[in-house]
Amino acid sequence: MLGSALRAQGVPQRDLSRPVQAPRPFAHPRFCHQLDFSTSGALCVALNKAAAGSAYRCFKERRVTKAYLALVRGHVQESRVTISLAIGRSCVEGRAHTMCTEGTPGCESPKPSLTELVVLEHGLYAGAPVSKVLLKPRTGRTHQLRVHCSALGHPVVGDLTYGQPGGREAQPFRMMLHALYLRIPTRTERVEACTPDPFLPALDACWSPHTLEHPLEQLVQALQASPDPDPMDGGPGPCNSTPLPGPGRPPPPQPKSPETETQRASCLQWLSEWTPEPDS
């Protein structure tokens, strides 16, 4: 009777004559990190709890290597820029859920942040001057790349939050930020991904490069050949990664502050949640 009533209401049913299948080992995928909204590119998804815990430990120890591509407003004059501006959360009315740099009115709890920028090309986007850049975050603050580029005076094209005012950033069809390269050296395997460059004239007729500064292929090869950063305890300082090649390399990162008890307790809680359950 119950089965007939459910069928009459259009409720899907399971065949009770078949045995219940055991849970699949890959039934609960987990995102190991995040990309900003409208950012395309490489994203690591773990297929089970053990893999997620292994990947998370690499992020916590700052052993992950990441690089992004972006089109930013204006022509960046220096071929290489190291942006070292602390980033905090904005408490200004109307700017909820946004970040800001230290010294900005309403900037709360700024933390040390470091980004390395290399200019790849200069050109025009829809007739306006822009630069194609490679961004290597040395820390992992919320919205770090977008905030640092905006603070430099070269916001990401299409960034509605930190871009140019007056509705100009509503014209591009997307935010021009792309996760190009990702490497996670877990204890069991070295997860590595290099995605295609989406900012090409063949893919977007609005983008018209005219001056080449650094070939992207050489920088990608340098990223792939660079050693993995040494394990660290995840304090607030920048990771000990190898700078990108080229003239005017940035100075080595400053020593980081020791991990606080609060940070350690938070990390241990995360690890306990990701740790595989013991066999019964």
Residues tagged active-site: 36
Contacts 24+ apart (CB under 8 A), 258-266: 258/233, 259/233, 259/234, 259/235, 263/234, 263/235, 264/233
Q: How far apart (Å, rounded) are the C-alpha atoms in residues 201 and 132?
A: 12
Cα R_g (the chain), whole angstroms: 23
Q: CA 228 to CA 190: how far, in whole Å? A: 10
On whether the CB atoms of residues 209 and 226 are closer than 8 A, the answer is: no
Q: What is the DSSP letter of 91?
A: -
How would you label 120-145 residue by residue, b for 16+ Cβ within 10 Å and e otherwise? bbbbebeeeebbbbbbbbbbbbbbbb
CA distance 51 to 59: 13
Q: Find out whether 71 and 197 touch, Cβ atoms under 8 Å.
A: no
CA–CA gap between residue 104 and residue 90 (Å, rounded): 9
Q: Which two tokens stand for residue 22?
A: 């055991």
